[in-house]
Structure 1
């Protein structure tokens, strides 16, 4: 019963097999191998246009270097107040980009358009003392398991474009959002005005595979130097490419995300039938937030369940009682129906 995070899961067997195969051969280093080039072309096919792709090791690196690539002196980046980039990356995006994060409030983990407009207006381009608006970043799926609809992405994108700001998407759980919306990668990104994407694979079955995707290759003309200077150019980058080859082959990545989302649906349905527990709010990806009696959470933990206690968001629909606890549960490609049903059974009996 491992629900702490999807990055607790191992690597999918197909990805392990491809890594093992790659380990027995020689190939050119520093991203110049035939395999690296082939996977770059595969990204063009997935996104239905020519893109510039750069492999990095972690989601934090992907977000930080994406923002660094579009940074401006004195710049500010606007994101949701509880976004991963502002809450959980130890200031790395600020450090590498040289820009400050400015939080934008909104329910369900999503920036409210009117709040974004107001925040941007506080920092005009000639505001030398306070800094100037420079970029917008949105998390898809969000940090609280919700998803921006295509229309909502359009609105955020228009605000960014109206103010001359590039739009970055943190896609650590990109595949989970894609499956939930039932659209194509192109429809969720550049066709909506997204300029740069952090494309995550690690949370969805890879071992160590993240990519930065520029939808206008001109934006990436100097990025190779930035990646090298920040120690993210792997000499054996083909091992990231090999993971992506298996991950993207025959839409494995979509199947893995679909399974994780289905297991989350099973959890959501199960909590809805319990008298002793409730969903904290509705989610749409592979994250589930529930309010349990402390006794139930303790019983589940003692029987081997792994999950995280979670701080109450500012806009939680119903406050957590003194004898209750808010928990986060995340499903993965490796989550089974038995895991879900056992957890729910413990909650029901406790």
Structure 2
């Protein structure tokens, strides 16, 4: 494979400097350094709004070894701050996007570095926790590492602001609070409901004529001050309307119930995470760096947990249900698509009184 003969560096907050080959945009990228274990879906990952503020390390050695297909993009543009790869096929013939991987990232303004021992980097993150990092052409002069999670990342993640009605296949209307939702999630919701899409800065109390509330995935710290109006809105609606959520949405809902969240050591990102309800094991897709503190659970039941570390994966009560993973994703099986049918059933039951 042809490599771009341009040195580029990954500079991390613990003082590590890793040299590699530069491709993509010749700009400096900065963000929280995280990794995904997914072996496929590289374009879906890069365009996932939950990655805003982060540099993405692909644990799988070979990336971009199949063509770019526009239809799988999860948002209008690449959301990551940078890409780290071991063996990227940067000049792979163009797919339906009409661009090879290198040109695509250049046009998107995203810097990337190749030739990195990404598995060594993954072990480093797993042992010491997430790092903050720069991707730059010059290894010098990068001593300031501010916390990207302190920013209002949701505002950067959402493609459309305000309130918009979208007709779906279902008669029931859902108030869909968009904190940086994936296209696949919106499409799946429209298979079951009609949606009132509302960004986090909307006047949620002024919206009416809906049957349930849904809180989407998104990036950053769920306890960020910018999201308190959403948390308070949910508090006022506990027991009033059915409430549902996915990923970041679960964490926001838990905060509304009075629980707390915490930052994970290195998070869960990938398409091979096993969760269980005690009877059945589901293979699921994850993308989150925060989780609900199990010691602060109140007024809801924990139904599912992660098999490896016990992270809370599903919460519910009589009028609320939320999962930490992504049931709209396709990690191989469609084990958790039942979430949407159950959501529809609960919404119908509530509407009938």
Which bracket does the TM-score occupy, shorter chain normalised? under 0.3
Larger relative contact order, structure 1 or 2 (CA cutoff 8 Å, min sep 6) = 1
* Structure ranking higher in helix proportion: 1
**TM-score after normalising by structure 2:** 0.26
* Structure ranking higher in strand proportion: 2
